[in-house]
Amino acid sequence: MKNTFEKMGGTYILGADGIYYPNLVSTDEEPHYGKYGMMRKTYLKEHRPAMYSLYMLEDRLTEHLNAVDDEAQERMKILVCQMMERQGITEEMKAHDQMEWVRAVNGIRNMAEEIVLKELIYR
């Protein structure tokens, strides 16, 4: 008679000590998420524990965090480029007044990050 693990497609491996061990292989993809994925994970743990538990139970947490991080990185690139273009931040400005250029770009990055956090991380 098969147990629940075997009914779900699980298999066992005979160990060197003569004991059968479950063959547990994660179907989860490798984590490659960075800053935004970690922020999303912390947010889910602290503010959406049911959603966090569901992702864990379905073995989809890493997949979700990778996707969120990739999307956030891409959105940051797009927003920064669009804002720099609209505000007229150019390479000429960088060559002429480097400190002003750094100030302007840092402000743009901060604004873009606030948008990304609101749209993707804290939802």
Q: What pLDDT, on a 0 to 100 scale, did the predictor assign at position 111?
A: 98
Q: Label residue 37 exposed, middle or buried (CB < 10 Å: 0-12, 13-18, 19+).
A: buried
Q: Please list the residues that pair with 77 across neighbouring strands.
A: none
Q: What pLDDT, on a 0 to 100 scale, did the predictor assign at position 9?
A: 73
Q: What is the pTM of this model?
A: 0.75
Q: What pLDDT, on a 0 to 100 scale, did the predictor assign at position 7?
A: 72
Type of residue found at 34: G
Domain boundary assignment for the chain? 4-121
pLDDT, block means (10 residues), the chain with 123 residues: 74 86 70 95 97 92 96 98 96 95 98 97 95
Q: What pLDDT, on a 0 to 100 scale, did the predictor assign at position 68?
A: 97
Q: Do the beta carbons of residue 34 and residue 112 sit within 8 Å? A: no
